A and B are shown apart, each in its own frame.
Chain A
Amino acid sequence: MRRTRTGNWRILLVLAAVNVLIMGLLTALSPTFLSYGNLSAVMLRMSELSMLAIAETIVLIAGGFDLTIGAVMALSATVFGTLYVQGLPFALIVALALASGVAVGALNAFLVVALRLQPFIVTLATMSIVRSVVYGLLKGNVLSDLPEGFLNLGYVYVLKIPLLFLVVLLVAVLAIVLLRRTVVGRRIFAVGGNERTAFLSGVHVDRTKYLVYSLSGLISAMAGLMYTARIRAVVPDMGITSPLEVITAVLIGGTAITGGKGSVLGSLLGILAMYLLLNGFNLLGLNPFWQTIILGTILIYVVGQENILRGVRAALHRAKIGRQA
């Protein structure tokens, strides 16, 4: 049961071409763009949001929605930071930080599965709850008393590539294998494509949902630790604008909001475009917020492509008939 992927490949190709185009333009316009220092800085900076994008893609493919990714990122960092101050062993606090993310994911899944609630609103509510817990634990403070060895991970380079970015690549490969090459992955697509059909063909729909939300929590929690290592602090507002940024990039990457369709690679290309634009506007000394204008426009265009083109064609056709008459 291989899926037809032609439509998917087209989006990926277009998106890859867009990225290449941006890179070409920036190489021509800015002498520093192609320098090692600049490129590795972009890779480092896009690490956390790339992780969140992978998490969101898995949930969206299964027909779910997860607004808690940014709050979970902050929660895991907070758990890590506050427990470190208590003097617990390092391995234990890392495990607990990741477990906090899985716990939020499982809670989301419980509310969606057992109470049959709508995921957008459920995760809006749990986002508010988790963020509130973060604020409550940190009491508005920034934690910077963190293990030095851990903080240095943000500046470790392997083969001149930032370690954090290699973590992203590893997680991305694992996610792609899971989604494309395993039975579990096929079930995730099946549940998102048509829940009823999936159920009737023997897929454990509920179990699949628990899995995707927990995975999303786990990956977001990893992102929290990565973010902490990169900025060398735990900040209460960490990731507060992430959900909408990430969802924008993921939808641009061809993942359908209705489920059953999407790709991790597309999402990462979406995040890459976002950071390349940001980097480019900064290098060129232009206002970096042009980035959000461009992304918003691309989002509407990509998702509405067929209808927009049909509308334009119809308008052109009418104009032609009008001229002939």
Chain B
Amino acid sequence: MSGGSASFRKVLQFRELPILVYLAVMIAVFSIAVGGFFSFKNFENISRQISTVGIVSIGMTLIILTGGIDLSVGAILSFAINIGGLGIVAGWPIWIAYPFMLVLGLVLGWLNGFLITRIAVPALIITLGTMNIYRGIIMVITKGRYITPIPKVYEAIGSGYIPFVFLAVILAVFIYVSLNTRFGRNLFAIGGGEQSAVYSGVPVRRYKMIVYTISGVLSALAGMILVGKSAFIQPQAGLGYEMSAIAAVVIGGTSIFGGSGSVLGTFLGSVLMGLILAGLTMLAVNPYWQGLITGVLIILAIALDTVRQLRH
């Protein structure tokens, strides 16, 4: 880290190289093997598919950079849209319902951050606990029932390119924030060594709280887009999102121990997983095998990260 920000950024650029290679290979293989894979229509499809998990993954990246983890992202997503959904059914106008959902995400994310920083227990355990609590509350309040019908206005956010535009904007914002602001650079410092960060005057607690809060808001937003795409709300929404998001982050080259990684890498990780799913579906390969490829990619990614750390 002694070479200043220019060489620091060069290392970061190198970090995405493996995933870019995977991506190029996958696109090449599928384009040759599948007619119509390299088409506008298909890429539009993929962009829609990856947008919700992609947005959640960006929040997860910030958390993992600080050395934390959040198992409750899927539960927060579901909480925001199910509790917000009660407002929708009650006839709230959209300009109240949407901010309400975002506030729910904000509050639950903040609560995660609060518990993690105050109780000083590993984030894995706290968010495992809050995941149970949030999911339980959803089921108790909705009694497991789907929420339908959702008025047409709520479908706008999930139609056409709009989900991907949201993802792209959030991506751009957080690439900028993570690389060019004091807050962003300090996230790397916290993950690199929390004690040293504290000693060098980084407000570790506050930054951690902010990171979990951002993740909560992004999860709620992803939920809103999910409602737009499916036009109904189910209590089990977002089930397994935590694992998909962690997979995207790790495949994207972010170290699970924190301190190194990138938001762009995570985005490329989500794109890669989306491409594989779409490609397998078009090849008429049973999509069930997607998990196998995802698993292998995760192992490759962390093996690479370990090699990289051993060299340093």
Which residues in A have some Cβ–Cβ distance to B below 8 Å?
A: 111, 115-118, 120-122, 124-129, 131-133, 135-136, 139-140, 244, 247-248, 251, 257-258, 287, 289-297, 299-300, 303-304, 307-308, 311
Q: Assess whether B296 is in contact with A124, with CB atoms less than 8 Å apart.
A: no
A303: which of B125, B288, B303 is its contact (CB, 8 Å)?
B125
Complex interface residues of chain B between 97 and 144 (CB less than 8 A to chain A): 115, 118-122, 124-126, 128-133, 135-140, 143-144
Q: Which residues of A contact B290 (CB under 8 A)?
A: 132
Which residues in B have some Cβ–Cβ distance to A below 8 Å?
A: 71, 115, 118-122, 124-126, 128-133, 135-140, 143-144, 243, 246-247, 250, 256-257, 286, 288-292, 294-296, 298-299, 302-303, 306
Q: Assess whether B136 is in contact with A291, with CB atoms less than 8 Å apart.
A: yes
- Smallest CB-CB A-B distances: 6 pairs: A132-B291, A296-B132, A135-B288, A289-B139, A293-B136, A129-B295
Q: Which residues of A contact B126 (CB under 8 A)?
A: 300, 304
Complexed CA–CA distance, A303 and B286 (Å)? 42
Q: Assess whether A121 is in contact with B71, with CB atoms less than 8 Å apart.
A: no
Some 17 contacts from A to B, beta carbons below 8 A apart, are: A121-B302, A125-B296, A126-B295, A128-B243, A129-B291, A129-B296, A131-B291, A136-B286, A139-B288, A248-B129, A289-B144, A292-B139, A296-B130, A296-B131, A297-B133, A300-B129, A311-B118
Q: Which residues of A contact B250 (CB under 8 A)?
A: 121
Q: Assess whether B143 is in contact with A297, with CB atoms less than 8 Å apart.
A: no
Q: Assess whether B137 is in contact with A293, with CB atoms less than 8 Å apart.
A: yes
Q: Assess whether B119 is in contact with A128, with CB atoms less than 8 Å apart.
A: no
Minimum CB distance partner of B119 in chain A:
A304
Q: Which residues of A contact B138 (CB under 8 A)?
A: 289
Q: Assess whether A287 is in contact with B133, with CB atoms less than 8 Å apart.
A: no
Consensus secondary structure, chain B interface: helix
Instruction: Give min CB distance, A4 to chain B, whole Å.
Output: 22
Complexed CA–CA distance, A293 and B132 (Å)? 6
Q: Which residues of B contact A118 (CB under 8 A)?
A: 256-257, 302
Complexed CA–CA distance, A313 and B131 (Å)? 27
- Known: A136-B289, A140-B288, A290-B136. Contact between A120 and B124, CB under 8 A? yes
Q: Assess whether A248 is in contact with B128, with CB atoms less than 8 Å apart.
A: yes
Q: Which residues of A contact B298 (CB under 8 A)?
A: 121, 124-125, 128
Minimum CB distance partner of A300 in chain B:
B129
B299: which of A120, A122, A135, A300 is its contact (CB, 8 Å)?
A122
Instruction: Give min CB distance, A315 to chain B, whole Å.
Output: 11
Q: Assess whether B140 is in contact with A290, with CB atoms less than 8 Å apart.
A: yes
Q: Which residues of B contact A127 (CB under 8 A)?
A: 243, 295
Complexed CA–CA distance, A291 and B135 (Å)? 11
Complexed CA–CA distance, A121 and B298 (Å)? 8
B128: which of A129, A244, A294 is its contact (CB, 8 Å)?
A244
Instruction: Give min CB distance, A15 to chain B, whole Å.
Output: 16
Complexed CA–CA distance, A300 and B246 (Å)? 22
Minimum CB distance partner of A134 in chain B:
B288
Instruction: Give min CB distance, A162 to chain B, whole Å.
Output: 27
Complexed CA–CA distance, A122 and B298 (Å)? 8
Q: Assess whether B295 is in contact with A128, with CB atoms less than 8 Å apart.
A: yes
Minimum CB distance partner of A281 in chain B:
B140
Q: Assess whether B121 is in contact with A304, with CB atoms less than 8 Å apart.
A: yes
Instruction: Give min CB distance, A6 to chain B, whole Å.
Output: 21
Q: Assess whether A120 is in contact with B292, with CB atoms less than 8 Å apart.
A: no
Q: Which residues of A contact B140 (CB under 8 A)?
A: 287, 289-290, 293
Complexed CA–CA distance, A230 and B298 (Å)? 34
Minimum CB distance partner of B255 in chain A:
A118
Complexed CA–CA distance, A290 and B122 (Å)? 24
Q: Which residues of A contact B71 (CB under 8 A)?
A: 244
Q: Which residues of A contact B256 (CB under 8 A)?
A: 118, 120-121
Q: Assess whether A244 is in contact with B247, with CB atoms less than 8 Å apart.
A: no
B303: which of A115, A135, A257 is its contact (CB, 8 Å)?
A115
Complexed CA–CA distance, A135 and B292 (Å)? 10
Complexed CA–CA distance, A131 and B290 (Å)? 10
Q: Which residues of B contact A247 (CB under 8 A)?
A: 128
Minimum CB distance partner of B144 in chain A:
A289
Complexed CA–CA distance, A293 and B125 (Å)? 15
- Known: A248-B129, A251-B125, A311-B118. Contact between A296 and B306, CB under 8 A? no
Q: Assess whether A300 is in contact with B115, with CB atoms less than 8 Å apart.
A: yes
- Known: A139-B286, A257-B124. Contact between A299 and B132, CB under 8 A? yes
Minimum CB distance partner of A241 in chain B:
B239
Q: Which residues of B contact A139 (CB under 8 A)?
A: 286, 288
Q: Which residues of A contact B143 (CB under 8 A)?
A: 287
Q: Which residues of B contact A125 (CB under 8 A)?
A: 247, 294-296, 298-299, 302
